[in-house]
Amino acid sequence: MGRRGEIAFFLTPAILLYVVFVIYPITRAGQYSFYRWNGLQDLTDFIGFQNYREAITNSVFQGALMNNLTIIIASLVVQLPIGLGIALLLNRKLKGRGALRTIIFIPYVLAEVVAGVMWTLILTPRGAANATLQNLGLENLQQLWLADPDIALWTLFGVLTWKYVGFAIILFLAGLQGVPEELHEAAALDGASWWQIQRRIVIPMIGPTIRIWAFLSMIGSIQLFDLVWIMTGGGPANSTQTMATYLIGQGFERFRFGYGSAVAVIMFSFSLILALFYQRFVLARDVQDPVSGRKG
Amino acid sequence: MSNLELAGRRRFNFSQPFVYFVALALIGITLGPVIYIVLGGFRSTGALAANPAGLPDPWIFTNYANVLTSSSFWQQVFNSTVIALITTAIVVIFGVMAAFALARYQFKGREGLFTFFVLGLLFPVTVAILPLFILTRDLGLTESPLGVALPQAAFGLPMTIVILRPFLRALPTELEDAALIDGTTRLGFFFRIALPLSGPGLVTVGVLAFIGSWNAYLLPLLLLSRPENFTLPLGVATFSTQYTQDTAAVLAFTSLSMIPALVFFLLMQRYIVNGLTGAVKG
């Protein structure tokens, strides 16, 4: 086997698999999006951009898009300070630190389905959450956590935070291990307070880790599906629809494959634009300004 | 948790009991819900309805016993295992081969090809799900483990290649030269030297692929409709909607479904954390 033969031998299986099951379906989605199609007949009813027009003017889709944006922003604004704060606190010699890390990471390893079923049971109107509030004498904080359109999205966001903040903490802790001990000591000798050291030295040094985390968090928020599908199915009154639950609902429950594909393409464009923008303006920045534009 | 004490090496101007307190609160918030459903599985549905936040009294074992003696639970464990193993095998083997070529051969279009794979990180399976459904139907792969495993492996390739390429790149050229001088072919170098040396990387991507497949919901949901083909997440979702009246049974089923993933995680956590943080720092 020549050198070319070897290269072909190593690359062909992966390229084939990738093209057949990733690239081909995605280009097909682009094609379907211009048709009215139920997935069964021949693909003949070409309707141009009508599916796209319908999606962007549809109030449920607009709501879904807004929900994705809300989750993206809330994740950054809430999970970053919590994750970073806890990581900074725990970044020291602790007995039982290994066990602590393991425990913090557990929710991340559970399936979203399992976490979703678990929290649904806890958050039912007569479930443990409300019962605990009652036992604590906090009846007025009791809520219809998943049935009240005004708060269901925030309930889901709370569960998402429970599930994913551990990942942020572990990631930040790993980043913090790369900050040399001597820097802390030197700054402390110069009279810097704990917070000054964190803010001026430590946080800037783990800037790259924070930026990558933020990126992963945003991409994850755009794709949000399992947990929502299990806990609310997009309800009540569409108040928790995401682009993905809307896509699956239209595609598989109403057999609107063309329209669903248009939603898929919009969703993909959204992550692509976000990725390019992020690559250009945030990841490319130097380490001086670590928290991606947010004030510390 | 009393051994969770601080061996304060550095002294900061705020008290260590605070850190201790935060750590305990974190453990409580993280584990509280999980412990609640595990304990709830030991209660009766009646007791749960009367006092949702109570403790088991008396302890009832029938909920767990019923799940553990039901054939559908074990069938789902088996199905999940088969799909996860196939996914993992394909993604690791195809991934390491591609990463090897992309790391150790000079050829035209190499970086372009690498970017082509990296782009896949941006394609969530959701975007391709409608055409994938049609494709697997046309290939006759609906209701088959392969129908779920092949797309999962394909979508896992980008991350695998991104993690493994630096690994294979880092092997010293001298090693390769020495092997070639000794009469080994490049293929021999791959199988006998590169593969064993990249063992930790392979385990990391393997574990990530396995857990990803084990927890996957969307693809199995759309491709597997017969209960005998269900994976564990499908089983949990279905069980919880079928037995809405029997809360205790759902708690027991959900608790037991967590165990395989948790055990696997505890055994492999070193690789998971290293892999994720390594990939992110990369």
Query: Binning pLDDT at 50, 70 and 90, where does residue B6 land?
Result: very low
Query: Is the pLDDT reported for residue A288 higher than 50?
Result: no
> Would you place residue A28 in the very low, low, confident or very high pLDDT band (cuts 50, 70, 90)?
very high
Average pLDDT of the residues in B164-183: 87
Of B7, B127, B214, the CB nearest to A95: B7
The domain locations on chain B are 71-233+258-281
Confidence of residue B197 (pLDDT cuts 50, 70, 90): confident
- Residue B154 and residue A244: Cβ atoms within 8 Å? no
Which of A:42-101 have CB within 8 Å of B?
86, 89-90, 92-96, 99-101
**Average of pLDDT values for B136-155?**
94
Q: Do B277 and A175 touch (CB under 8 A)?
A: yes
pLDDT tens-digit readout, A127-186? 888 888 988 888 888 888 999 999 999 999 999 999 999 999 988 988 888 888 888 888
The count of CB pairs under 8 A between chains A and B is 289
Nearest CA to A272 out of B155, B162, B119, B126 is that of B119
Residue A146 backbone phi and psi in degrees, to 5:
-110, -5
pLDDT attached to residue B2: 36
User: Is the complex ipTM higher than 0.90?
Assistant: no
pLDDT of residue A295: 35
pLDDT score at A280: 78
Of the candidates B51, B95, B132, the beta carbon closest to that of A25 is on B132
Q: What is the pLDDT of residue A286?
A: 42
Interface contact A128-B52, CB threshold 8 A: yes
pLDDT tops 80 at residue B10: no
B178 to chain A nearest CA, in Å? 18
Contacts of A99 in chain B (CB under 8 A): 4
Asked if B105's CB is within 8 angstroms of A117's CB, the reply is no
Is A211 part of the contact surface with chain B (CB cutoff 8 Å)?
Answer: no
Residue B126 to residue A79: CA distance in whole angstroms: 24
Inform me whether the pLDDT recorded for B93 exceeds 60: yes
Choose from B17-21, B65-69, B186-190 the range with maximum mean pLDDT. Answer: B65-69
Summarize the confidence of residues B46-58 as an average pLDDT: 85
Q: What is residue B74's predicted lDDT score, i.e. its pLDDT?
A: 95
Do residue B154 and residue A272 have CB atoms under 8 angstroms apart? no
A20 CB within 8 Å of a chain B CB: yes
pLDDT band at A92 (very low <50, low <70, confident <90, very high): confident
- Has residue B226 got a pLDDT over 90? yes
A237: left (phi over 0), alpha (psi -120 to 50) or beta: left
Tell which of A82, A105, A113 to mutate to test the B interface (max B CBs under 10 Å).
A113
Does residue A19 have a pLDDT over 90? Answer: yes
Would the pLDDT of A290 be above 60?
no
pLDDT at residue B124, as a whole number = 82
- The angle, 0 to 180 degrees and rounded to 10, between the axes of the packed helices B199-215 and A112-123 is 40
Instruction: Report percent pLDDT > 90 for chain B.
Output: 52
Average pLDDT of chain B to the nearest whole number: 87
Inspect the interface and report whether the beta carbons of B101 and A10 lie closer than 8 Å: yes
CB contact under 8 A, B217 and A6: no
Look at residue B1 in the predicted model and tell me its pLDDT.
Answer: 36
Q: Cβ–Cβ of B113/A11 closer than 8 Å?
A: yes
Q: HSE (CB half, 13 Å, CA atoms) of B167?
A: 28
Nearest to B154 among A18, A118, A267 (CB): A18
Assess contact for B150 and A17: CB atoms under 8 A: yes
> A145 CB contacts (<8 Å, ≥6 apart)?
A123, A129, A130, A151, A152, A155
Evaluate if residue B58 carries a pLDDT over 50.
yes
Choose from A3, A6, A10 for mutation: most chain B CBs within 10 A: A10
For the segment B156-160, the average pLDDT, to the nearest whole number, is 93
For chain A, what is the mean pLDDT?
A: 88
Q: Name the fold adopted by A33-283.
A: MetI-like fold (1.10.3720)
A168 near B CB under 8 A: no
Q: At B275, is the pLDDT very low, low, confident or very high (cuts 50, 70, 90)? A: low
**Nearest residue to B128 (alpha-carbon basis) of B95, B99, B150:** B150
Both structure tokens of A20: 């057949």
Q: Do B93 and A13 touch (CB under 8 A)?
A: yes
**Block residue for tokens 């269900």:** B230
Ranking B68-72, B88-92, B228-232 by mean pLDDT, the lowest is: B68-72
Q: Name the more confident of A197 and B281.
A: A197
Residue B12: the pLDDT is 47
- The residues spanned by each domain of chain A are 33-283
Interchain proximity A95–B4, CB inside 8 Å:
yes
Q: How far is CA B122 from CA A70, A271, B118, in A?
A: 20, 7, 8
> For residue B45, is pLDDT > 50?
yes
Cβ-based contacts of B273 with chain A (< 8 Å):
101, 105, 170, 174
Contact call for B251 and A93, based on CB within 8 A:
no
> Smallest Cα–Cα separation from B281: which of A180, A290, A210, A49?
A210
Q: How many other C-beta atoms are found inside a 10 Å radius of the C-beta of residue B22?
A: 14
Q: How confident is the model at residue A248 (pLDDT cuts 50, 70, 90)?
A: very high
What three-state secondary structure class fits B157? Answer: helix
Inter-chain contact A11–B153, Cβ cutoff 8 Å?
no
Q: Is the pLDDT of residue A115 over 90?
A: yes
Q: What is the pLDDT of residue B8?
A: 42
Neighbouring residues of A124: CB distance < 8 A, sequence distance ≥ 6: A146
Give the least confident one: A264-278, A281-295, B117-131, B137-151. A281-295
Q: Which of A18, A108, A134 to mutate to test the interface with B (most CBs of B within 10 A)?
A: A18
- Going by pLDDT thresholds of 50, 70 and 90, the confidence category of residue B277 is low
The mean pLDDT of B96-119, rounded to a whole number, is: 92
Distance from CA of B62 to the nearest CA of A (A): 19
- The pLDDT value recorded for residue A284 is 66
- The more confident residue out of B274 and B13 is B274
What integer pLDDT is reported at residue B250 of this predicted model? 93
pLDDT of residue B97: 96
| Chain A partners within 8 Å of B51 (Cβ) | 131
Whether residue A180 has a cis bond before it, omega within 30° of 0: no
pLDDT of A211 higher than 80: yes
Identify the residue among B2, B126, B245, B247 best suited for mutation to test binding to A, counting A beta carbons within 10 A and taking the highest.
B126
The pLDDT of residue B50 is: 84
Look at the block and give the residue holding tokens 């009154």.
A237
pLDDT over 90 percentage in chain A: 55
Helix ranges (DSSP H) in chain B: 16-40, 45-50, 62-68, 71-104, 110-119, 129-138, 145-169, 173-181, 186-189, 195-197, 199-215, 218-223, 232-242, 247-281
Q: pLDDT value at position B99?
A: 95
Is residue A98 pLDDT above 50, yes or no?
yes
Q: Which residue has the tokens 């090693």?
A: B175
Higher per-residue pLDDT: B184 or B213: B213
Nearest to A17 among B37, B150, B280 (CB): B150
B235-246: average pLDDT: 89
Contact B98 A275 (CB under 8 A): no
Kindly indicate whether the domain formed by B71-233+258-281 is annotated with CATH number 3.40.50.620.
no
- Enumerate the residues of chain B whose CB falls inside 8 A of the CB of residue A6: 101, 105, 186-187
Of B13, B18, B36, the CB nearest to A128: B36
Residues near B105 by beta carbon (within 8 Å), at least 6 away in sequence: A3, A6, A7, A10
Mean pLDDT within B130-155: 94
Please say if the pLDDT value at position A1 is more than 70: no
Average pLDDT over residues A236-262: 93
Q: State whether residue B171 is helix, strand or coil.
A: coil
SS3 call for A94: strand
- A71-90: average pLDDT: 94
For chain A, the distance separating the N- and C-terminal CA atoms, rounded to the nearest angstrom, is: 58
